[in-house]
Amino acid sequence: MGVVRSCAMTTTERPAATPAAPAASGAPHERGTPGFRRLGAALWCSGLATFVLVYSVQGLLPTLSQQFGVSSSVASLVLSATTGTLALAVLPLSALLESWGRARVMTWALGISAVLALIAPLAPTFGVLVAIRALQGITLAALPALSMAHLTKEVAPRHLGGAVGLMIAGNTLGGLSGRLVATVVADVGGWRAGLAAVGVVSVVAAVAFRWLLPAATAPDPSPTRLRDLGGPLRLHLRDPGLLCLFGIAFLIMGAFVTVYNYLGFRLLAPPFSLPAALTGLIFLGYLAGGWASTGAGRLGDRFGRRPVLWISATLALAGIWLTQPDSLVAILAGLLLVTVGFFGAHSVASSWVGRRSSMLQGGVPAQASSLYLFAYYAGSSAGGAAGGIAFDHLGWFGLVGYVSVLLVGALALALVLRRIPAPAPAPAPATA
């Protein structure tokens, strides 16, 4: 609960009951203003809640595998079901629901998902648990894209990379706290108690998000129909820069989830034979991800996104090979590099998508962010499941090879991206 309490403490020096003064009409928030701080704190809590809800089961996969008598790759369906339905629903739901009000939709998405998290521990069978988790992916689907779109609209462009990095730092802490809370509580009271604790954490984070979120300075868009999505969708899918960024999201997330899904199985088995609670501490590596996401976003704003993205992918590739020896020190060092590389690349790529889409004539940043997140969560679902097959049949060496292929592909796309120019600015409207 200490993690979620920090959400409510990340307020400005204003009294909590006093809402932040909105920026001038239509003016985005500048760094250092009360509105910027409250917006950053609110979306930090949103990111925390999202990753608590999605990834808390990752630390429980060995326990669920043993409890229900299924293989490691089948146990991973508890996670893949959520990320898979989230990926499928993110584009249509975020586009159709944005006109209802980004703040309202994000609040409802968090609230309903938190209630489902409280129901999940009551699942009588593995199949029912997977079904609840799949439904949770749908209820969460609009949240990540609308959060990214909200930042793009509400924050001054020159501060966007740092703001996105802060939100992803919330993702990082959510991923860490969800896994730690679930594994530590489950070690004492079983997996049902672990999931119940996660549900309580997510409820508190959702309340903190709504409490902190300042009034929007940009108007909500007009209602969108499904048939209206075709034009912007084709525009985004024809842009080579965006295609590279979507591909990078798919590959790096598939690699990252694979490592964290199955490393616990390796550490529980000989020659390590670590206790389950101690194995859960590997997720402390996520703390480096919070630093990397914020730092990479700011470095990208200052020195350019291309070199930061390339360096991040290279770090992750070096890290996965460090985990190959049967040395706990080498594994932890490699995991640290994989985590830093992943969050650095994700922070830069996700902020880049919104900026590039806004430069396209007819581009819709919210839809571009949805496509990015579709690729991101599809990579988590499909890439993580395929990684389990590699691990089941070829052990950790096979997993290292599989992850390396994904990261080399991401690195190749990052190098291609360096040669793609920024979109030409949209022509100015004709004057009389």
pLDDT digits (tens, 9 = 90+) for 138-157: 999 878 777 777 777 777 76
Q: What integer pLDDT is reported at residue 153 of this predicted model?
A: 74
- State yes or no: pLDDT of 289 exceeds 50: yes
- State yes or no: pLDDT of 176 exceeds 80: no
Count of residues making up the chain: 432
Q: Give the HSE-up count for residue 212: Cα atoms under 13 Å, Cβ half-sphere.
A: 27
273 conformational bin, left if phi > 0, alpha if psi -120 to 50, beta if neither: left
- State yes or no: pLDDT of 403 exceeds 80: yes
Q: Is the Cβ–Cβ distance between 310 and 299 less than 8 Å?
A: no
- State yes or no: pLDDT of 132 exceeds 80: yes
Lowest mean pLDDT among 6-15, 81-90, 275-284, 396-405: 6-15
Q: Which are the contacts of 179, defined by CB distance < 8 A and separation ≥ 6?
A: 55, 56, 58, 59, 280, 283, 286
pTM metric for this prediction? 0.76
Output the furthest CA–CA distance in the chain (Å, rounded): 78
| Domains of the chain, earliest start first | 36-417 (1.20.1250.20)
Q: Which are the contacts of 230, defined by CB distance < 8 A and separation ≥ 6?
A: none
Mean pLDDT in the chain?
A: 82
Q: pLDDT by residue (tens digit) across 297-341?
A: 677 667 667 888 888 999 999 999 999 999 999 999 999 999 999
Q: What integer pLDDT is reported at residue 323 of this predicted model?
A: 96
CB-count exposure of residue 184 (10 Å: 0-12, 13-18, 19+): middle
Q: What are phi and psi of 333, to 5 degrees?
A: -65, -45
Query: Which alpha helices (H) appear in 17-76, and where do they start and end?
Result: 34-55, 61-68, 72-75
CA–CA separation, 348 and 341 (whole Å): 11
Q: What integer pLDDT is reported at residue 15 of this predicted model?
A: 36
Q: What integer pLDDT is reported at residue 105 of this predicted model?
A: 85
